[in-house]
Structures are given as structure tokens and as C-alpha cells.
Amino acid sequence: MRIDILTLLPKLFDGPFSDSILKRAQEKGHVTIHLHNLRDYSTDKHKNVDDYQYGGGAGMVMRVEPIAACIEKLKAEREYDEIIYMTPDGELLEQGISNQLSINTNIMVLCGHYKGVDERIREHYISKEISIGSYVLSGGELAAAVLVDSIVRLIPGVLNDETSALTDSFQDNLLSPPVYTRPPSFNGWEVPEVLLSGNPKEIELWREREALRRTKIRRPDLLD
């Protein structure tokens, strides 16, 4: 998979993409991530990428020209399955969206700033608008990093044990059951007997029951 990210702050991605699973996924060739600084696409002499909004009011708007120039350049080079805009008024990100996006070949992700992007970009280029939650971040970059992480870990071969993505919380609309590791007793706090029983059927049953119990208590909305 190829992911192109359009941003005013490419350095913000240095951390999340240079460690752990995202780093390994890139090293193993499962994904290539390309950062594009929108300022490089501004043709005015001060490299401006924002301007006052028509009609007045506080807050700057990201200008149409640099974004359009970057998108057009990329679209001329390959076909994109989705051009995604990260915005608090987008569709709320959930596992199903990441699952769908993980089977794509080329996706573009546009990060907004200030008051957002000129609406004409949304009307003419964007195929999907995604929010990572009902709160406002300073820009779309952290949201894009969250989206990319949730997608890349689902690409076959990225996780060592492929089944571990399938047993993640949310994959079957259930939260994950509790997990334990050694020692079996710590401070008098015991690991549930059944997990030490060596009986795979009993263990599976216990995990299903616990997943359901946890979901009922914490996220009953998932069971609707």
C-alpha cells in the first residue's frame, strides 16, 4: 500500500512513523508513506498557504491553489482509491472503516489546519472525510497518524501473528477479554484458574463470556 499525506507540518509524523509496527511495516515493504509539505506547492512569493475567509470572521482558511496543485500532481502519477480529509465534522472513525481502507492500494490523506480547507477542495477532490472523535485538535496531523496506524496494522504480514489483529477489540463488535501473563500469583492477586487449566475449550468459553461481560458494562452501544 502507498499512503500520501498532505500537510503543513510533516515533522509531526517523525515520531509515530519511525518506531514499532509502523517502522517495521515500512522496512518490510508492506507500506510506503510519502509526506508532502503543502508549502512547497504555494506559488506566491511568501509561500502563503492560508488566507482570510470571505464574509469575515476569525480564523484563516487553507487556500485552494496549493492543495489542488499537490493533489493534481499525485493524481497524474497514479490512481487513488480514496482521497481522505481529516476533519472534526467527518464520519467518526471506527474499526470497520480501517478494515475497508486496509485493502486499498493508494490512498491520500489531507490534514487540515486553522479553520479548515477551502470548501471547494472538499467538493471536488475529497472522497471520504474522517473524524477521530468529537473534539477539536490543533490540526489533522495527529488524527492522520491515528488513522494510518489503525490501517497499516491490518495489512496482511504486518503483524507477526496475523490472528492478533483479528482478535483485537471491535473486530467482532466486542471488547477484548482480560489478559494475564506470569507469574500466576502476585501479591496474592491470582490469575483466573481456567487460564492455567490447559483446557482450550474452557479457555475459549471463558474468553467469550468475559468479552461479552466487559462489552455490556463498558460499551453497550456495540451490542445494539
Out of 25, 67, 86, 195, point to the residue binding ligand ADE (CB under 6 A). 86
Q: Which is nearer to ligand ADE, 63 or 113 (CB)?
A: 113
Query: Among 25-33, 84-92, 194-202, 210-218, which window interacts with ligand ADE (CB under 6 A)?
Result: 84-92
Residue 9 interacts with ligand ADE (CB under 6 A): yes or no: no
Look at the block and give the residue holding cell 500500500: 1
The nearest distance, CB 86 to ligand ADE, in angstroms, is 4
Q: What angle do CA 55, 59, 60 make, to 5 degrees?
A: 85
Residue 109's H or E segment, with its range, is strand 106-111
Whether the CB-CB separation of 7 and 16 falls below 8 Å is answered with no
Q: Which is nearer to ligand ADE, 131 or 215 (CB)?
A: 131
Whether the CB-CB separation of 223 and 216 falls below 8 Å is answered with yes
Adjacent-strand bridge partners of 60: 52
The nearest distance, CB 9 to ligand ADE, in angstroms, is 12
The nearest distance, CB 101 to ligand ADE, in angstroms, is 14
Report CA-CA distances (Å) from 143 to 16, 56, 111, 180: 11, 28, 8, 31
Q: Which is nearer to ligand ADE, 105 or 127 (CB)?
A: 127
3-state SS, residue 88: strand
- Using CB under 6 A as the binding criterion, the count of chain residues that bind ligand ADE stands at 12
Per-residue string for binding with ligand ADE, 123-162, x by CB under 6 A? --------xxx-xxx--x--x-------------------
> What spatial distance separates the first Cα and last Cα of the chain, rounded to whole Å?
34
Residue nearest to ligand ADE according to CB distances in the complex: 143
Q: Which is nearer to ligand ADE, 17 or 85 (CB)?
A: 85
Q: How far apart are CA 152 and CA 19, in angstroms?
A: 13
Record the cell numbers describing residue 114, joined without a space: 486553522
Residues forming contacts to ligand ADE in the complex (CB under 6 A) are 86-88, 112, 131-133, 135-137, 140, 143
